[in-house]
Structure 1
Amino acid sequence: MRNTMNLQLFADAVRGNKIVYLYRIEKDASKNAAAALAFTTENGRTVSKDADTTETKDGSIRTPGKTEVEITATSILAKGDTLLDSLEDAMVNDEKIEIWEANLDEPASSGDNKFKGKYFQGYITELEKTSNAEDMVEVSLTFGINGTGQKGDVTVTTEQQEIASYVFKDTTKTEA
């Protein structure tokens, strides 16, 4: 029996830089649009669930607990970055954060600059700034999410998409 592999499976894989995260402090929703962290090197979303085990005469019974969601972000600190300062203040003051996860490889059918994604609300549970002598300053954030988030279409502006990759520009003169 000959094993063959369908290489097309790899051609359809989503690259990490196509999943973008946007953040906003909830109380600032009327003043600010969501923004991406500059120089993001890694994001993650973990969905976990504990389960209790009850031993019976017939064997173990597993009872699932509540689903927990955690989002992480790691970025290089940009000079003059105000978003990270605002997020740190929000952590200290127990302010709720809104987070959008968008997959730039999956445009939504609902309009321009809309992508399939998820919306979350939660709190920053950890912020770490690492500054060693040989590398750039790195900032890591952990968000504890309320509930499990909601699926929907996420608006990602052209400027925000540039975070993930270059956006095509024509040779014509651009507006200032």
Structure 2
Amino acid sequence: MVNEMLEGKHKVLLFRKLSDQSQKAAKLVFQTEHTFSYSRELERIVTKDGGVIQVGDLESEVSIEAIQAKDDPIAQMLRQSVIDGEKLELWEVTVDEELKTEDNKFPAVYAQGYLDSWEDPASAEENASISSNFTVEMEPQFGEATLTAEQQQAVQYAFTDTTSVTEAS
């Protein structure tokens, strides 16, 4: 087996309010970067027999960077969730055709939590951007996620033939 690199552009974030589970999760447009981080506090305790380590709870968070779209309802929902303190669901989905399962699912990490910050920097020389931080409650779960055709199209459009496209095709 030959190891291949995984490109960061194949990992995208989808969001949904926990209270809106009747809705599909949706992608924040123009994502430029995110970091899913895991950390644990380790405390060294000195004993008469030598040092031992006490392991603390897992802490996870996701830092998010994106370019602002002129009218993105997901960005508006995320900003409002910070203001309202609303709990969210987040999926980090690896949208790589080579990793897709036979059931048409993609590797994913699922988490629930809160956005603890939202920034809208607007520089005179760059695109307006979004910066946010998602704090995970409990532990992230690893599994596989189904993406609808619409969600896959939001990630990256696919090749389309030159013939007319109808609803039946």
Same-fold call, TM > 0.5? yes
Identify which of 41, 47, 53 aligns with 1:62: 53
Alignment of 1:83 with 2:74, yes or no, is: yes
Whichever residue aligns with residue 64 of structure 1, its letter is V
| Deviations 1:143-165, CA, capped at 9 Å, x for gaps | 10011121222112333334444
Identity rate of aligned residues, in percent?
33
2:147 matched residue in structure 1:
156
Say whether 1:42 aligns with 2:21.
no
Stretch deviating more after TM superposition (151-160 or 15-24): 151-160
Using the size of structure 1 for normalisation, the TM-score is 0.86
Instruction: Give the stretch that moved more between structures: 148-157 or 47-56.
Output: 148-157
Partners in 2 of 1:84 and 1:55 — Cα distance? 48
State how far apart, in whole Å, the 2-side matches of 1:166 and 1:28 are.
Answer: 26
- Written as runs of structure 1 = structure 2, the 5 A alignment for 1:84-99 is 84-99=75-90
| Counterpart-to-counterpart distance in 2, 1:156 and 1:90 | 24
Matching residue's letter, 1:124: L
Q: 2 CA distance for matches of 1:166 and 1:87?
A: 24
Q: Distance in 2 between matches of 1:159 and 1:42?
A: 22
Following TM superposition, the consecutive aligned residue runs of length 4 or more in structure 1 with deviations greater than 3 angstroms are 162-166
Aligned partners of 2:26, 2:5: CA distance in 1, in Å? 26
Among 3, 6, 10, which residue is 1:18 paired with?
A: 10
Per the TM alignment, residue 57 of structure 1 is displaced from its structure 2 partner at its CA by 2.5
In 1: Cα distance, 2:156 partner to 2:100 partner: 15
Retained in 2: the 8 A contact 1:158–1:167?
no
The yes-or-no answer on 1:130 pairing with 2:121 is: yes
* Distance across 2 between alignment mates of 1:153 and 1:108: 8
What is the RMSD computed on CA atoms of the aligned residues? 1.6
1:67-96 deviation digits (Å, cap 9, x = unpaired): 011012111010112211111111111111
AA in 1 matched with 2:86 = E
| Unaligned runs of at least 5 residues, structure 1 | 1-7
Query: Could you report, residue by residue, the CA deviation over 1:128-150 in whole angstroms, capped at 9, with x for unpaired residues?
Result: 11101011111011110011121
Which consecutive residues of structure 2, in runs of 5 or more, have no partner in the other structure? Answer: none
Size of the alignment, in residue pairs? 164
Corresponding residue for 1:3? none
Q: Secondary structure at the match of 2:160?
A: coil
Q: Write the letter of the residue equivalent to 1:143.
A: F
